[in-house]
Amino acid sequence: MCPNIERPVNVAPESISEFISQCSTHTVRRGKDMAGFYIEEPDEDSVIYEVYELESSGHIKLAVTIMKQGKAGNEYFMTKGHYHEDERAGEVYFGLKGKGLLLLQTKEGQTDEMELTSGAAASIPPGWAHRSVNIGEEDFVFLAVYPATAGHDYGAIEKHGFLKRVVEMDGKPRVV
C-alpha cells in the first residue's frame, strides 16, 4: 500500500527505476493481451509494453510506459490506444528514451501523427484517441500526464482499430 502522504517525484531518463519503485500500479501487455490489434499476431508471451501508473489521490495522474522494440509481422510494437471516457480530458506525453510515433485520431475521422523523442513533449487535445508506436532501435519510454478522471475507453479502438498503421517498408517506418 502507498503511504498516505505522497512524495514529490522526479522523472528523468536516468531516474525511471526510481519512479517505478514509488508505489506504482504495474500493467504488462504481452502478445496474447493484444489479440486482434495487429494484422499478424505477435508472439503470445512477448512483452510489448509495460505501464507504471503512480497512485495518487489528487487530480493529476502520472504514468511511465516502457515499450519494447520489436514488430508483429511488419508492424512496429504499439500500445492498444484509447479515447478518454471524459471527452474533456486531454493528456501530455513527454519523451524520456528512444523514439516513438504518436498516432492520433478523432471520432469524426481526422488523423494526425507526431514523433516523440527524449526531451520533447506532445499534447493530446480532448477528443483525440492516442496510440504510441516504438519506431526506434531501443526501448521507447515516455511519461504521460492526464486528469485522474480521464478514464480509458478502448471499445471503439478494439472494434474499428486505428485508421493508420505504422509498418516497416524498405527498412524504415511508414505510416500507411
Q: How far apart are CA 33 and CA 104, in angstroms?
A: 22
Residue 51 binds which entry of ligand M6P, Zn ion, none, CB below 5-8 Å type-dependent: ligand M6P
Residue 134 binds which entry of Zn ion, ligand M6P, none, CB below 5-8 Å type-dependent: none
Nearest residue (CB) to ligand M6P, 65 versus 105: 65
Residue 52 C-alpha from the chain's centroid: 11
CB neighbours (10 Å) of residue 172?
Answer: 8
Residue 81 binds which entry of Zn ion, ligand M6P, none, CB below 5-8 Å type-dependent: ligand M6P
- Contacting positions for ligand M6P (CB under 6 A): 51, 63, 65, 79-82, 91, 144, 152
Nearest residue (CB) to ligand M6P, 5 versus 126: 126
Q: How far is CA 51 from CA 27, 85, 144, in A?
A: 5, 19, 10
- Contacting positions for Zn ion (CB under 5 A): 91
User: Could you tell me if 147 and 124 are in contact, meaning their C-beta atoms sit under 8 angstroms apart?
Assistant: no
Quick one: which of 156, 19, 155 has its CA closest to 94? 19
Smallest gap from residue 58 Cβ to ligand M6P (A)? 16
DSSP 78: B
Nearest residue (CB) to Zn ion, 46 versus 56: 56
Smallest gap from residue 35 Cβ to Zn ion (A)? 21
Q: How far apart are CA 91 and CA 155, in angstroms?
A: 19
Smallest gap from residue 100 Cβ to ligand M6P (A)? 11
Smallest gap from residue 171 Cβ to ligand M6P (A)? 27
